[in-house]
Structure 1
Amino acid sequence: MSKKLSRSAIAIAVALAAPSAWSAGFQVSEHSASGLGRAYAGEAAIADNASVIGRNPAQMTMFEESQVSGALHVVNPEIDITNTTSGQKASDVAPMQLVPASYYVSPINDKWSWGMGLYTVYGVATDYPDAFETGDLAGDTSLVSVNLNPSVAYRVSEQLSIGGGINIVYAMAELNRHVGVLTDSFNIDDRGAKLISMEGDTWGYGWNVGALYELDKDNRFGFAYRSKVELEFEGDFTDHQGSVTGTKGNVVTGDLSVPLPAVAEFSGFHQLRDDLAIHYSVMWSQWSSFTELKATGSQCASDGVQGVCFEKKEDYQSVFRWSLGTTYDISNDWTVRAGFAFDEKAGKSTLSIPDSDRYWYSAGATYKYSPSLTFDAGITYIASKSGTFTETSRAGEREFSAKGAAYIGALQANYSF
C-alpha cells in the first residue's frame, strides 16, 4: 500500500473514532454501551463483556470462551458560549460525534487469556463561527485519536488476576484561527479570514496494567493504571496574514507537543442477591501534566519570541471522577442498569476546551438473544455546570459565559464462541 493510501486509511479509522471529549479535559469515556448505562461505574471489576480491555485487562481471565464486542456511541453536545463583553453568542460550538469501539477476548488456557481493543481515549472538537470576534482564540480545534491495545492476562491464583497491555496511539490534530475584530491590523474587511492554521499527525506509545481480586464469587475489586502518552506532532503551519513568519501565506514546518495524561481507576462489584448488584468506581486523571499548547518552528516568531508559532498557557490540575451504579436482572433474557457520576473539572475553561464540572445520569439494558449473542443499549444525560471565564486576545481581555449539556446514546453487540 502506498504511503498516501496508507495514511488515508488511518485517517478514516481516526475519523470513525471521532472525539467526544465529554469528560474532564479532553478525555473520552465512551468505551461500551453497557458501561454507558451505568455511568461507567465498576468498569475495572464488573467483567460483563469484552470491553474490559478498555479499562482493566486483568478481567480477561473471567472469560471461559472467546468473545467479540462492537459498540457505537452517538454524542450530541450542546455548548453555548457568549462573549459577555460584546454580547456575541456562539451556539453548539461542539459538533455531534460518532464514537465506535471494538474488542476481542480469548482464553488460552485456565491461566492465560489475551485480547485486542480498538477505541479512543482522548479527543476534542470545537468549531466557532469564522466571524467570531475573538477569532484569534476561537476558530476551530480538533484532536482525534485511535488506540490499538493488545493485552494479556494471567490468573495468579483463584482470587488474584493480573493483566497488561501496550497502547499504540495514532492521532491527528488541526487548528484554525481567524482574524475576528483584528481586521484593521491586517487591512482587510473579512472577519472570517484565516489568521493561522496548523495540521499534523503522529504516533504515540504507552502501556496499561491492571489487577483483579475476587474476594468470593459475589464480591471483587479491580485496579487499573494507564500510562501517560506523549504526542509529538509534526505538520504544516500556515501563516495566512504574515503575522508570525513575516510572509503572508507562508507554510512552514511546525511541531506541537500534547501529553495524554496518566489514569488510575479503582472499582468494586458486589452481587447483593441473585438478581441485584451494585458497583462503583473512583478514577484519577493526571491532568497537571497538561500545561500549554505550544507550536514551534524555526521560521516563526510569535509575539517577538523566535521559534514560537503560537503559544497558549493552560491551567490544569489532576482530578477525580466518582461513579455509582446498579444492575438488576428482570428475567433470564433482560437486564437493566442505572448509574450516576460526578466528573470534576480538570482545567480553567477556555474557548478551545470549555471544561466544567459534569453530572452523569445514565440508564441502560441488555437483551440476551441467545446463549451466544447479547445486545446492550445505554443512554446518558450529562448536565454541565455553567460558568464564566476570561481570555486575553490580541484585541484585549474578554469575558465569556458558558453553558452546556450533552446527550449520549449507544448500542453494542457481544458474540461468544
Structure 2
Amino acid sequence: MIQSRQRHTCPGSLKVMITMIGMLGSSASQAAAFQLLEGNASGLGNAYAGTAAVAEDASTVFFNPAGMTFLPGRNVAFSVDLVRPKAEFSNQGSINATGQAGGGDGGDAGDWAAIPAGYMTWQLTDQIFAGLGVGAPFGLKTEYDSTWAGRFHAIKSEIKTVNINPSLAFKVSDRLSFGVGVNYQRIDADLTNAINTASLAGAGTSALGRIKGDDTAWGWNVGALFQLTPDTRLGVAYRSKLDYKLEGTARFSGSAATTLNAVRGGNVTADVELPDMATFSVMQRISDRWTMLGDVSWTGWSSLQELAVNRTDGVNVTTEELRWRDTWRVAFGGTYAYADALSLKFGLAWDQTPVRDTTRLPRVPDEDRVWLSFGVQWRPDTTSAVDVGYAHLFVKDASINNNGGSTAARGRLIGEYENSVDILGVQYSTRF
C-alpha cells in the first residue's frame, strides 16, 4: 500500500474555483485505472469523443489549448460530474493468512463522488488567446468492510488530485492553431489495510496500517487544430508525465502497534510517475443538423511498474507489484441539432485497462470497459449553454488471484469482481 465576468472579477472567481475543487477533490475512478476523463460535462454525452477537436467551450483549455482560438471574447465554463462506481467481490476459494480467520466479500467498494472543473479563456489579440483551467485528471476511491477476506491487502484506497493549467494559444491562420499549457498538480494519497500480527501478539490478532502522503509536480501540454475544410476539423493533443516524490507518514494502531511503529512506522517517501497521454480527434459536420465525432487516445501507464514505500532511513515499508501496460481508448459520438436552442448527443467508447490479470490488486480492481452515453445541450441565448450528460460504463468482470507477495502475511485473494460505473454531469458555459 502507499500503503466572464469583467476582468477585475476574475481573480476572485479563480480563488473560489480552486477552493471548491480542492475541497471536493477527485476520488472516483471511471476511466482506465484511476484516470479521470471528466474534464467537463459537455463532452460526457458524446463519451468524450472528439475532445481534441470540438472546442465548443472553455474546457478546451484542458483537452486541447489550441481550441481557445475558436472562442472569441471571454468565456467561462463550470461543470460537476457525479460518479458512482460499483466494485463487488465474490470469493472463490481465497486462502487465509497464517493465524487468521476468513472474512466476507467486503461489500460494494465503490461510492458516489463529485468531480468539479472550471475554466476561463480570454482573447488577447486577433491571434493570441489565454486560458486557465482547474480540474482533477486523476482520482481513486475504494473502501471495503474492515473484516473482509482481503483486508490484509486493502481496506481504504483514496487518491485525489487538483490540476491548475494556465495556457496560451496562437492562431497561425484560419486553418491552423497551436496551443501550449503548463500544469501544476497536487496529489494526496490515503491508504489503509490490516496487518497480520499473529506472530507478534497471538493467533487472530491484527493491526491497522495507514500511509498518507502528498506532493506537487509540474507538467505541460500542447495541442494543434487543423481546419481542413469548413466541415472537417482535426485535433491532436499531448499531456506530459508528472513525476512525484510523495512524502508522508506510516502509522499503525491495534495489536503490536508499538513494535510495528518502531520497525516500519515513521516518515516515508514513494516515487510515482503518472502517465503521459496523446489524443487524435476528428470532427465532421455531415449536414446542417448532424455532426460526428471520433478519436483515438493513448495513455502511457507502463510508467507504473511497482509502488515502493520506504522510510526516510531506507527501510522498506511495503511494495506493491503493478506491471501496468500502456493503453488505448477509441470513442465515437454524434450531435444532432434538434432545434436552434436544443442539441442531442450520444457516444460509444471502448476503454482498455492497464491492469494485467496476474497483478490485479483490490485497490484497483480494473478491467476493460465500454461506454454508452447520452446528453442534451440547451442554449437559452446566443452566448450561453447548459449541458446535461449521462454515461453507463459496462465493465468486464475482473478476476483476481494475488497474495501481495506473501500468503502467510496477507493470504491469497482469489475471486472475481463485478464492476460498473454510472456518471451524471451538469455544465454551464457562457461568453462575455
2:53 aligned to which of 37, 45, 49: 45
* Map 1:4-23 → 2, pairs under 5 A: 13-23=21-31
| 1:400 matched to 2:408 | no
**Structure 1 SS opposite 2:125:** coil
Moved more, 363-372 or 240-249: 240-249
Which one has the bigger strand percentage? 1
- Give the partner amino acid of 1:148: I
The root-mean-square deviation of aligned C-alpha atoms, in Å, is 2.1
Unaligned segments of structure 2, at least 5 residues: 1-16, 95-102
**Structure 2 SS opposite 1:369:** strand
Q: Cα deviations across residues 254-278 of structure 1 (Å, max 9, x unaligned)?
A: 0012211000000000011111110
The CA deviation at 1:352 is 0.5
Q: Cα deviations across residues 3-41 of structure 1 (Å, max 9, x unaligned)?
A: xxxxxx988743412222111111001111110000000
2:172 aligned to which of 156, 180, 185: 156
* Map 1:316-327 → 2, pairs under 5 A: 316-327=324-335
1:385 aligned to which of 396, 404, 422: 396
Aligned residues between the structures: 400
CA distance in 2, matches of 1:153, 1:242: 58
* Map 1:131-210 → 2, pairs under 5 A: 131-179=147-195, 182=196, 184-187=198-201, 194-210=207-223
Corresponding residue for residue 224 of structure 1: 237
**Structure 1 SS opposite 2:381:** coil
Unaligned segments of structure 1, at least 5 residues: 1-8, 300-305
**Structure 1 SS opposite 2:286:** strand
| 1:67 matched to 2:75 | yes
CA contact (8 A) 1:77 1:92 kept: no
Evaluate the alpha carbon distance shift between residue 113 and residue 244 of structure 1 in structure 2; reply closer, same or farther with a 3 A threshold. farther
CA contact (8 A) 1:374 1:415 kept: yes
CA distance in 1, matches of 2:430, 2:29: 29
Corresponding residue for residue 113 of structure 2: 97
Corresponding residue for residue 381 of structure 2: 370
Corresponding residue for residue 7 of structure 2: none
CA distance in 1, matches of 2:32, 2:154: 20
Evaluate the alpha carbon distance shift between residue 243 and residue 259 of structure 1 in structure 2; reply closer, same or farther with a 3 A threshold. farther
CA contact (8 A) 2:21 2:116 kept: no
CA contact (8 A) 1:239 1:248 kept: no
TM normalised by structure 2 equals 0.88
CA distance in 1, matches of 2:142, 2:158: 7
CA distance in 1, matches of 2:202, 2:20: 37
CA contact (8 A) 2:251 2:261 kept: no
CA distance in 2, matches of 1:80, 1:352: 12
Moved more, 126-135 or 280-289: 126-135
Evaluate the alpha carbon distance shift between residue 55 and residue 148 of structure 1 in structure 2; reply closer, same or farther with a 3 A threshold. same
CA distance in 1, matches of 2:309, 2:316: 6
The CA deviation at 1:399 is 1.0
The CA deviation at 1:372 is 2.2
2:343 aligned to which of 326, 335, 342: 335
CA contact (8 A) 1:239 1:249 kept: no
Corresponding residue for residue 283 of structure 2: 269
The CA deviation at 1:83 is 2.6
**Structure 2 SS opposite 1:90:** coil
Identity of aligned residues (%): 29
Corresponding residue for residue 304 of structure 2: 290
**Structure 1 SS opposite 2:61:** helix
CA distance in 1, matches of 2:146, 2:192: 9
Corresponding residue for residue 353 of structure 1: 364
| 1:25 matched to 2:41 | no
Evaluate the alpha carbon distance shift between residue 389 and residue 246 of structure 1 in structure 2; reply closer, same or farther with a 3 A threshold. closer
**Structure 1 SS opposite 2:147:** coil
TM normalised by structure 1 equals 0.91
The CA deviation at 1:236 is 1.2
